[in-house]
Amino acid sequence: MKTYTVGVIGYGGMGSYHYKRIPKPDGIRFLSAYDIDSKRLANAHRDGLETYTELDAFLADPRLDVVLVATPNNFHKELAIRAMQAGKHVICEKPVALNSAELQEMIGCSRENGVLFTVHQNRRMDKDFRIIKKIYDERQLDEVFRIESRVQGSRGIADTWRRRKVNGGGMLYDWGVHLIDQLLYMLPGKVTSVFAEFQYISQNEVDDNFRLTLTFDDGVSVLVEIGTCNFIMLPIWYMCGRKGSVQIDYWNLEGRIYHLIDNDIKFEDEIPSTLVGPSITLAPRAADTMEELPLPDAETDPGFFYKNLYEVLDQGAELTVKPDEVQRVMRIIDLAFESGKTHRVIPCDI
């Protein structure tokens, strides 16, 4: 069995997480690390990697097959391009770049140099998303027309590069990129409009709260919402179809499906008095016309990314996270920032 070696650029939180925590097949071996911070290199050495203080020397190692770029976001493009020009395959952390033009350069470079290029969009395997995707794929709610995907916290953004505009900080780049990627991966339609609102609650430099509305050509309307100043959190997922709704409350995966079993609604002749006051339209439906179901279980595989990498390199398998898919996400991020500035709904065909 051939072994492919990986070297890390940026041995911080995520660079070391790849090495130490993400399951990998036998044919993938981490070899080395390059970082500009000597403390991070000392950590890499302690963890058993060869370390480099010079990028050129790191890239010149003929034993090295794959480079993982796990630095702050603004360095991704330059470092990925340097690695690809040195003939290395590249895995880039998310967000792959700061905009779609940067990504286009990276894709062009991978083609020119005949090397593999992919992005660590690992949240395609998160259990909450896999449950929603299963319900969607199996049409358990019939035709879906509304989806809300949300992450909220109450601690603001840590005062690191994540809070600096120059580094590509802010929540759209940080979490938005994951949630948009999940939705585009699941939904077959094309995005026909983008509208975004950004807020700057804990500081003024980068978005720490945003709401993004995407409209799809098959009529699905999607809300992606991220907050870092929410002391009561809304559900992480809410999806409505013609014959049911599903909600996932939180990461503990509590939630439920309400499924329609009888749509033969008999509207009253007189306005009923209910909890909602006098309303015919919004009076609750009869309890025996729907059933509550538990959330289904769904398969996940925390080792999918490196397993796929190995199969692509060794057997020419299809890449799971394709650059063109990530390019759709980046184009939406571009338009979201434009919409935030102009307060306009931006029509598109993505």
* Residues found near ligand NAD in the complex (CB under 6 A): 9-15, 35-37, 40, 70-73, 75, 93-94, 120, 122, 161
CB of 128 to ligand NAD, least distance (A): 14
> Please, which residue, 161 or 258, has the CB nearer to ligand NAD?
161
What is the phi/psi pair of residue 214, to 5°? -115, 130
CB of 265 to ligand NAD, least distance (A): 45
* CA–CA separation, 208 and 171 (whole Å): 5
> Please, which residue, 122 or 339, has the CB nearer to ligand NAD?
122
CB of 333 to ligand NAD, least distance (A): 13
> Please, which residue, 36 or 57, has the CB nearer to ligand NAD?
36
Phi-psi map region of 261: left, alpha, beta (phi>0 left; psi -120 to 50 alpha): alpha
Query: Could you tell me how many residues make up the chain?
Result: 350
Alpha-carbon distances, residue 205 vs 270, 280, 330 (angstroms) = 56, 48, 21
What DSSP letter does each residue of 187-252 carry, written as one string? Answer: --SPEEEEEEEEE-SS-SSS-SEEEEEEEETTS-EEEEEEESS-SSPPPSEEEEETTEEEEE-STT
> Please, which residue, 42 or 317, has the CB nearer to ligand NAD?
42
Its sign, for the CA torsion 84, 89, 93, 97, is positive
* CA–CA separation, 336 and 282 (whole Å): 34
Chain centroid to Cα 30, Å, comes to 24
Chain centroid to Cα 260, Å, comes to 31
CB of 231 to ligand NAD, least distance (A): 24
Both tokens of 291, joined, read 């059933």
CB of 111 to ligand NAD, least distance (A): 23
Rounding to the nearest 10 degrees, give the CA dihedral for residues 75, 77, 82, 87.
130
> Please, which residue, 75 or 258, has the CB nearer to ligand NAD?
75
CB of 15 to ligand NAD, least distance (A): 6
CB of 72 to ligand NAD, least distance (A): 5
> Please, which residue, 12 or 244, has the CB nearer to ligand NAD?
12
